[in-house]
């Protein structure tokens, strides 16, 4: 087994450097892969992850709102897998409205497909059974998609989970967002523990095959 020292580049296009703590850092120009347990070669995902450790207050308005307050920068011509968990709550305002989910940012998208499960309660996060309706299914657009019926209760505790694939054309930012059809009279807050994670799978434009598929 060969050893690559800091400051050198291997024939596979992986450059090695060291950070301020002296740890070695791999900087791949291509996807990293490994062969665990003598099985097919599998991908080592360069996962990007963001989680809220402080609740994020939204606005009592109809404009597009950033769910986590940030966006992630993606590279072009790449297929990504992603997962998100977004609990939203409010305690005031009875104006009827719906909630839509969408993705903003500067990246252009070839295609996107993600599953969604979303349910609401008007008493607490742990509604058993929930006092509101649940939404589940497949969304195949980055544009705004309504995920609720009319919401009229002052207290709302909505939990949304998404998981899917997005194929990026031109690189740029991708921003998980939501929008309201009307100003409810009270703003929603994204709860602590909300997160979004995303990792590259392959070059876009063809089926993704990683491992022993035939």
Assigned token pair, 112: 């996107």
C-beta of residue 129 within 8 angstroms of C-beta of residue 64: no
| pLDDT tens profile 151-176 | 999 999 999 999 999 999 999 999 99
| pLDDT tens profile 51-89 | 999 999 999 999 999 999 999 999 999 999 999 999 999
DSSP SS3 for 191: coil
Q: Average the pLDDT over each of 2-11, 55-64, 202-211 and give the range with the smallest value.
A: 2-11
This prediction's pTM: 0.83
Give the DSSP H or E segment for 197: strand 195-203
Domains of the chain: which residue ranges? 48-203
pLDDT band at 44 (very low <50, low <70, confident <90, very high): low
Mean residue pLDDT across the chain? 86
DSSP SS3 for 132: coil
Going from the C-alpha of 73 to that of each of 36, 52, 90, 130, 165, the distances in angstroms are 30, 18, 30, 36, 16
pLDDT band at 134 (very low <50, low <70, confident <90, very high): confident
Q: What are phi and psi of 190, to 5 degrees?
A: -80, 125
């Amino acid at each position: 087994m060969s050893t690559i020292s800091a400051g050198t580049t291997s024939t596979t296009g992986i450059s090695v450097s060291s950070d301020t703590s002296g740890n070695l850092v791999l900087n791949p120009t291509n996807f990293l892969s490994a062969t665990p347990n003598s099985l097919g070669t599998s991908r080592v995902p360069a996962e990007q992850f963001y989680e809220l450790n402080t609740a994020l207050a939204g606005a009592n308005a109809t404009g597009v709102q950033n769910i986590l307050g940030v966006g992630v920068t993606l590279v072009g011509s790449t297929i990504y897998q992603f997962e998100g968990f977004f609990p939203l709550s409010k305690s005031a305002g009875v104006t009827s409205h719906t909630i839509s989910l969408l993705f903003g940012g500067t990246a252009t998208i070839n295609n996107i497909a993600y599953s969604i499960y979303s349910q609401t309660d008007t008493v607490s996060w742990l509604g058993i059974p929930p006092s509101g309706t649940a939404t589940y299914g497949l969304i195949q657009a980055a544009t705004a998609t309504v995920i609720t019926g009319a919401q009229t209760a002052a207290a709302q505790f909505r939990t949304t989970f998404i998981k899917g694939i997005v194929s990026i054309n031109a690189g740029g930012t991708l921003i998980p967002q939501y929008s309201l059809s009307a100003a409810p009279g009270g703003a929603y807050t994204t709860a602590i523990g909300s997160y979004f994670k995303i990792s590259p799978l392959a070059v876009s434009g063809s089926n993704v095959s990683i491992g022993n598929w035939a």
